[in-house]
Structure 1
Amino acid sequence: MEFELTAGERVDVDFAPQNVQMEILQNCSTILSTSKFSVPLDRDFGVDANYVDAPLLSAKAKAESEIFAALKKYEPRVTVKQITWRSNVEGVLRAKVKVVINET
């Protein structure tokens, strides 16, 4: 089963998720909404945002690479299947990340 997450969207933290699936998806959302160097005891946690002012194609490529690497490192129970891009009327561009939870 595929799940779609939006990079940069904060979700409320549930300290007692209903099941492992919800825990994994919450972990992925946290990874995708955290900038590298912002977590004091793990400066590598999250997604590097140094691409923000880069040309669009370069920024997308860098962001996709960062998303794949961060999820692989910090939540290996998922596989990234696809990353698409959506923008709103204000021009905010966000990655839509489709993941599949690996069988454990």
Structure 2
Amino acid sequence: MDTYSVSSSVDGAIDYGATGVFATLQSIAFLLSTLVDSCPLHREFGLDPPIDDPTSYARASLSAQIIEKIERSIPEVDVVDVLIEDQPLEGKLSATVKVVITNDSEI
């Protein structure tokens, strides 16, 4: 099985005709860049970033939240690793997620 890496800091256009592995990776990138309550028909979708928490707690909280949301929303994917990088001068946390697609037949 191949391991794929998806970053939250990548800005790009949505490919509405995406299929297969690319569509799955695009779904993960979309989830990482979406805030909770911003999708009208699916309020639970997205992340709820720890805004005022200390960096060490924010990293742990965000990592756990990313794993939970990806495995709930995209069941054909297993999360292998989550790397949270902080950019203290900009006040940002960015995530890079490594995943394995476990069931190619669902894609």
**Structure 2 counterpart of 1:68, which letter?**
I
TM-score w.r.t. length of structure 2: 0.84
Indicate conservation of the 8 Å contact 2:36/2:46, yes or no. Answer: yes
Q: Distance in 1 between matches of 2:88 and 2:56?
A: 20
Q: Deviations over 1:31-54 (max 9, x none)?
A: 1110101111111001112x1220
Equivalent residue runs for 1:5-84 within 5 Å? 5-17=6-18, 19-49=19-49, 51-84=50-83
Q: Which segments of 5 or more consecutive residues in structure 1 lack a partner in the other structure?
A: none
Distance of 2:9 and 2:71 partners within structure 1: 18
After superposition, what is the alpha-carbon deviation per residue over 1:61-97, rounded to whole angstroms, capped at 9, x for unaligned?
1101110111011111111100112345844331111
Give the number of equivalent residue pairs. Answer: 102
Q: Extract structure 1 runs of 4+ deviating beyond 3 A.
A: 87-92
- Where structure 2 has 5 or more consecutive residues not aligned to the other structure, the ranges are none
3-state SS of paired residue (2:99): strand
Would the aligned equivalents of 2:63 and 2:84 in 1 still touch at CA under 8 Å? no
SS in 2 for 1:42: coil
Q: CA RMSD in A?
A: 1.7
TM-score by length of 1: 0.87
- Which region of structure 1 is more displaced relative to structure 2, 81-90 or 55-64? 81-90
Identity %, equivalent residues:
27
Change (3 A) 1:40 1:81: same
